[in-house]
Structure 1
Amino acid sequence: MLVHRAYIPDAQRPESFDTWPYTVPCVAELAERGLTFNAPVTMLVGENGSGKSTLVEALAESFKLDSHGGRAGRKYVNDRPKTPLGEVLALETTPAGRRMLTGPRTSRKGFFLRAETAFGLLNTISALELYGYWEEDTSTMSHGEGFLTVFESMFRERGFYVMDEPEAALSFESCLKLVALMHRLGETGAQVVCATHSPILAATPGADIVEVGEHGTRRTRWDELGLVDHWRRYLANPDSYLRHIVD
């Protein structure tokens, strides 16, 4: 692992939690107590608006990744304005994580993939043929194939990998391939933090599952997730849900 804990230093904590992003329960909790990482793979699971994306963007920025998406070590990452939470978030790192963050820019390893900007990133990289990325032309691929190309090309080394809803373009089988990749990364000393709505990704073996919501954050088991319960009920009897919205 590379990061033990994310927190906001006392000098950076707001005097009031009445403004965004501190009105989001998981961010307010982070400001009060921090967020610890107990396993190489962490899944942040919650409804839209629960704060998952706010957390992962700030985590990416704290590890000097670009909040718009991309790999670690890019020359101009720090020229972009940070998110409000990214401006104040700090990381307690392992010795390996410290060496990456305090060493030369090229020593940082990792990638931030966010579904909102990934499609544009794929096309830009393919058009410019930038060094250090993938060789394949993702503009000729489906979105799902392009995502898998990114994963297989960029998620190889021991590094810090942050993902925001990567399942957006993935089929069932492609989700399973990503599960295998995340599990493999975790076993090699890398660290993965993934915000997801997918019960498939959340089931990654050995993952620490953090459920995000009005309660803030809480650790739970896969089979106790509200997400999993809803999918089970829906697949067993879709009409039990659909009759309430199409009648």
Structure 2
Amino acid sequence: MIIERAYAHVASGDDREWPWSVPCVRDLLANGLRFTAPVTFLVGENGSGKSTLVEALAEGFGLDPWGGSHDWRYASHRAKSALGERIRFDAAPRGRQMLSSWSARKGFFLRAETALNALEREGFAPDSVSHGEGFLEAFRWKFLKPGLYVMDEPEAALSFASCLELLGHIDQLVKSGGQVVCATHSPLLTALPGADIVEIGEHGMRRVAWDELALVDHWRRYLGDPQSYLRHVLG
């Protein structure tokens, strides 16, 4: 692992404004976020703050906030977010050298809406492959070395089979010394053995087992009886 804990501080009185008012960010300010496994999944509804959190983690580590690596920027005109400016890390033993030197930090931030653009600007030509295949090519091409790899909903472009392949790439990455923090809605990805799952919501942040996740429960119910959900949304 590279990092053991992320934390941030803000001046008293400012914590009533966004993003400090978001429950998961308030929890980060109060308690920090500990990483206890090489893969951490952040799970929550739209608007819960998980994307705000993973972007700040990427920014704090020095990764391109629009998606990309520490070595290259294509959004350098964009200032860091308020949370990204303040976030700090406690290093794991293997990550002390990386965190002690800005130039030594390695990793990649993969966000669904800008992934292929970031890859193209870093030298990969995705035009000859599908959107989903381009995502997988990112893992084959950029997710190789020890470092921090942050992802925001990578399942957005992937089929069921491609999500399974993605899990294989993540497994190989952590065996090579990488650490992954991933925001996701996918019950398939979060089933990765040994992964830590943090559920984000109005409560802030809490660790849960895979089979206790609300999203897993909803998918089970929906697949078992779609009409029990559809009758509430279809005229």
Shifted more, 74-83 versus 167-176: the winner is: 74-83
Number of equivalenced pairs:
235
The 2-side partners of 1:237 and 1:192 are apart by 34
The 1-side partners of 2:95 and 2:111 are apart by 22
Alignment correspondent of 1:8: 8
Residue from 111, 114, 117 that aligns with 1:114: 111
The 2-side partners of 1:188 and 1:38 are apart by 17
What pairs up with 1:125-204 in 2 under 5 angstroms?
A: 125=122, 130=123, 134=124, 137-204=125-192
The 1-side partners of 2:121 and 2:48 are apart by 30
Residue from 22, 38, 41 that aligns with 2:39: 41
Provide the secondary structure at the position in 2 that maps to 1:100: helix
Q: CA deviation at 1:244?
A: 1.1
Contact 1:43-1:210 within 8 A present in 2 as well: yes
Alignment correspondent of 1:28: 26
Contact 2:51-2:183 within 8 A present in 1 as well: yes
The 2-side partners of 1:213 and 1:104 are apart by 32
Residue type matched to 1:58 in 2?
Answer: A
Alignment correspondent of 2:71: 73
The 2-side partners of 1:138 and 1:14 are apart by 47
Change (3 A) 1:61 1:110: same
Residue type matched to 2:5 in 1?
Answer: R
When normalised by structure 2's length, the TM-score is 0.94
Contact 1:64-1:78 within 8 A present in 2 as well: no
Residue type matched to 1:146 in 2?
Answer: G
Contact 1:70-1:112 within 8 A present in 2 as well: yes
Change (3 A) 1:123 1:77: closer
The 1-side partners of 2:163 and 2:217 are apart by 19
Alpha-carbon RMSD across the aligned residues, in angstroms, is 1.8
The 1-side partners of 2:221 and 2:64 are apart by 38
Provide the secondary structure at the position in 1 that maps to 2:63: coil
Structure 1 gap segments, 5+ residues each: none
Q: CA deviation at 1:40?
A: 0.4
The 2-side partners of 1:225 and 1:124 are apart by 37
The 2-side partners of 1:109 and 1:149 are apart by 18
Contact 1:56-1:194 within 8 A present in 2 as well: yes
Q: CA deviation at 1:226?
A: 0.3
Q: CA deviation at 1:63?
A: 0.9
Residue type matched to 2:116 in 1?
Answer: F
Contact 1:183-1:205 within 8 A present in 2 as well: no
Q: CA deviation at 1:76?
A: 7.5
The 1-side partners of 2:223 and 2:167 are apart by 21
Q: CA deviation at 1:75?
A: 6.4
Structure 2 gap segments, 5+ residues each: none
The 2-side partners of 1:87 and 1:245 are apart by 41
Task: Percent identity, please.
Answer: 57
